[in-house]
């Protein structure tokens, strides 16, 4: 079975001077996720890896490059879903977290589920 990784670098008007860097960042993120699959990682591992690459890229509107709120602070949300089991979890308005997607995944692993 072949796989496809689709990512986006944020919903904002990308300035012309950041266009190439934004495209390069999105491509690098997709490659990062695909590399996980090539090493027999799970789809969930690949998603987390790809999103971490987005969050680590200061050019993109995620993680380190996220847009500050009206108080000038960066607050981030993240959601992660396991398509196989439909397990999911999210975090909201987190601050001072380098990779909110990994925090959401950690919450998914640790919080007891009452609807099983």
Average pLDDT over residues 26-30: 97
Number of domains in the chain: 1
The pLDDT assigned to 114 comes to: 56
pLDDT digits (tens, 9 = 90+) for 59-100: 998 888 788 899 999 999 999 999 888 999 999 999 999 999
Q: Give a yes or no: residue 81 inside a domain.
A: yes
Q: Give a yes or no: residue 116 inside a domain.
A: no
Degrees to nearest 5, angle at CA 67 with 28 and 26: 10
Degrees to nearest 5, angle at CA 77 with 35 and 102: 40
Q: Is the Cβ–Cβ distance between 78 and 90 less than 8 Å?
A: yes
Helix (H/G/I), strand (E/B), else coil: 93: strand
Number of Cβ within a 10 Å radius of residue 80: 22
What is the C-alpha to C-alpha distance for residues 11 and 16, in angstroms, rounded to an integer? 15
Supply the pTM of this predicted model: 0.89
Q: Give a yes or no: residue 7 inside a domain.
A: no
């Amino acid at each position: 079975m072949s796989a496809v990784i689709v990512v986006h670098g944020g919903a904002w008007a990308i300035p012309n001077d950041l266009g190439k860097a934004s495209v390069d960042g999105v491509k690098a993120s997709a490659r990062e996720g695909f590399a996980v699959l090539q090493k027999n990682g799970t789809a969930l591992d690949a998603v987390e890896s790809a999103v971490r690459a987005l969050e680590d890229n200061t050019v993109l509107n995620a993680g380190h490059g996220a847009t500050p709120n009206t108080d000038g602070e960066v607050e981030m949300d993240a959601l992660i879903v396991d398509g196989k089991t439909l397990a999911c979890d999210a975090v909201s308005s987190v601050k001072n977290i380098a990779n909110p997607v990994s925090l959401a995944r950690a919450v998914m692993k640790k919080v007891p589920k009452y609807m099983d």
